[in-house]
Structure 1
Amino acid sequence: MTGSILELVRSSVSTSYLQAMKCRLRRLFMNFSKKIFLVIYFSLFVAISQNAWSHKVRMVTTDWAPYYASTLESGGVVAELVQAAFLRGGHESSLSWYSWIRAMRMAKVGSADAVMGAYYSEERAGIYNYSDPIFSVDVGLIALKSLGIDKYGGLRSLDSYIIGVMRGWVYTEEFDTADFLKKQIVVNQVFAVRMLFSKQVDIVAASISVFKHEANLLSNSKGQDIVVLNPLLDSKPLYLMFSKNIPNSLELVKSFNAGMASIRADGTFQKIRDKHGF
């Protein structure tokens, strides 16, 4: 009798123990499965997010030496600064060279992510997302010394001259809206230099350094033949213009701005300027 009772107790204990173990193992397996699922899920999420977000930024621009050009080392000072800022923000970037009008059109429709080296205007701000300023250039009016003037007292004092302006450029609001001026549209700065030296225009509105760079490349021109009229039109910041027709455009702007702020803070910005002679 006693033996039967002991067997019954052992059997009950074993059954209860096994059931408890089964429940515990089942809970452990479910918890483990959930953890594995969450690990796999978030790993895939991060991988997909990084693949979608950390893409190579497609930049476009035009030749604009000495600041940036396809013929300059590393694409020029502005190109190297911009690409360093993108890298600091976690993005690689590519840079392709087109006419200025085509470059802006590509970014507008989203076939490029950003245009490098643009001036600001309210009209453009309605089409593109602007970065923080990346560089600054002096813009003014340039004439041959033979014209006999070296300064002007307001834009209306220039209404008798033909002024060459670059197609697709913005200068200042006052200059751009001065309909009383005789403006001759020029394809780019190279043609502007040639037209001034051939006296097809009297004055050219341009970046001072860019004009002088192109003038020095002409064998029949000399730097002393030109004069920059006083006062300058403006000292204008250069920006990146990001397409509004790409995913994460504003996030890309923020990432670039953070990268640019970082390379300014740690001295990389100035080192790149020094490398290119700025």
Structure 2
Amino acid sequence: MNTLGLRLFTRLARGLLGLVLLGNVAAAPVLQLVSTEYPPYCGSELPEQGVFTALTRAAFKAAGFETRVVFRPWARVLAEARAGQHDAVLAVWYQAEREQYMVYSDPLWVNRIGFYARAGETHPVHQLSALKGLRIGIVRGYANPLEFEAADLGGEAAVDDLTNLRKLQAGRLDLVLIEQALAAHLLKTQLREAAGQLVWLEPALASPPLYVTLTRGKPQYRKHLAAFNRGLAEIRRNGEYARIVQRLLGPLAAP
């Protein structure tokens, strides 16, 4: 074999060896996740599909899994989770009855539910009994914090949070009960003219954790749960969690 032939043979052998090695490398398993539109946490049109989605992807990736996320209305999310159609559900509050078909991860995020008011107005939100008689905006169909319901403050129900913020801006409400980051997102994207007029009042009324849930209908749900919790601990430890939050939410601190 001449020199040219030897070179060609060597290149061919190396190429074949590379193909064999690539074939032996197993692709990372892909999990299908489902969520509803819940900005700024989850959303099909949000950067990186929202901060909660980005954190979930990072945690699973740290544990060796790739992910694909689909978005559905919330009622359909729960129905498909019961049927075992997805590996996991994103951004779920704890309810005991859901444990029949889901298992909860370690908490990934903490919501802050409380009150928005017009700038310059003060209300003693730390003492709910003092809020009686105020016009408080709530959303029809939402499960409000137990503390709010126990205080028997009533509330004026609207179709969504954006409507309540508009009514607050117009002086038709005194307070709006809302999730803090959701309100900030709406003021940044859909109600920019009111961004300096409406403010969050400390302290938060309730701080319910948000979870990823693994669906019991999938045979390996326990393995996936352990992997997710392991990956979540890793991205908290190595700083990736905080970097994702800063990148997507800016001044809102990571919980």
* Residue of structure 2 in register with 1:222 after alignment: 194
Q: Where do residues 25-44 of structure 1 align in structure 2 (5 Å cutoff)?
A: none
Q: Distance in 1 between matches of 2:29 and 2:150?
A: 44
CA distance 1:197–1:172, shift in 2 (3 Å)? same
Describe the superposition over 1:61-92 as per-residue Cα deviations: whole angstroms up to 9, x where unpaired. Answer: 21312x33322221122211111111222322
Describe the superposition over 1:199-227 as per-residue Cα deviations: whole angstroms up to 9, x where unpaired. Answer: 55442222212202202334573223223
Q: Where do residues 1-278 of structure 1 align in structure 2 (5 Å cutoff)?
A: 54-65=29-40, 67-125=41-99, 128-145=102-119, 148-166=121-139, 169-175=142-148, 177-178=149-150, 180-198=152-170, 201-218=173-190, 221-276=193-248, 277=250
Q: Distance in 2 between matches of 1:189 and 1:98?
A: 19
Q: Distance in 2 between matches of 1:105 and 1:161?
A: 38
One-letter amino acid of the structure 2 residue matched with residue 56 of structure 1: L
CA distance 1:157–1:247, shift in 2 (3 Å)? farther
Q: Using structure 1 for the length normalisation, give the TM-score.
A: 0.67
Identity rate, percent: 28
CA distance 1:270–1:112, shift in 2 (3 Å)? same
User: Post-superposition shift, 1:131?
Assistant: 0.8
Residues 139 and 235 of structure 1 are in contact (CA less than 8 Å); yes or no, is this contact kept in structure 2? yes
Residues 85 and 260 of structure 1 are in contact (CA less than 8 Å); yes or no, is this contact kept in structure 2? yes
CA distance 1:75–1:55, shift in 2 (3 Å)? closer
* Residue of structure 2 in register with 1:27 after alignment: none
One-letter amino acid of the structure 2 residue matched with residue 74 of structure 1: E
Q: Distance in 2 between matches of 1:200 and 1:98?
A: 33
* Residue of structure 1 in register with 2:7 after alignment: none
Q: Using structure 2 for the length normalisation, give the TM-score.
A: 0.72
Q: RMSD of aligned C-alpha atoms?
A: 3.2
User: Post-superposition shift, 1:232?
Assistant: 1.5
Q: Distance in 2 between matches of 1:162 and 1:236?
A: 24
State the SS of the aligned residue for 2:155: strand
State the SS of the aligned residue for 1:264: helix
One-letter amino acid of the structure 1 residue matched with residue 65 of structure 2: H
CA distance 1:159–1:127, shift in 2 (3 Å)? farther
Q: Distance in 1 between matches of 2:50 and 2:139?
A: 21
Q: Distance in 1 between matches of 2:211 and 2:158?
A: 23
> Larger deviation: 243-252 or 206-215?
243-252
One-letter amino acid of the structure 1 residue matched with residue 52 of structure 2: V
Larger Rg: 1
One-letter amino acid of the structure 1 residue matched with residue 222 of structure 2: L
One-letter amino acid of the structure 2 residue matched with residue 119 of structure 1: W
CA distance 1:72–1:130, shift in 2 (3 Å)? same
Q: Distance in 1 between matches of 2:82 and 2:52?
A: 21
Q: Distance in 1 between matches of 2:177 and 2:169?
A: 14
Going by fraction, where is helix more abundant, 1 or 2?
Answer: 1
Residues 33 and 90 of structure 2 are in contact (CA less than 8 Å); yes or no, is this contact kept in structure 1? no
> Larger deviation: 194-203 or 89-98?
194-203
Residues 77 and 273 of structure 1 are in contact (CA less than 8 Å); yes or no, is this contact kept in structure 2? yes
One-letter amino acid of the structure 1 residue matched with residue 205 of structure 2: L
Q: Distance in 2 between matches of 1:160 and 1:214?
A: 27
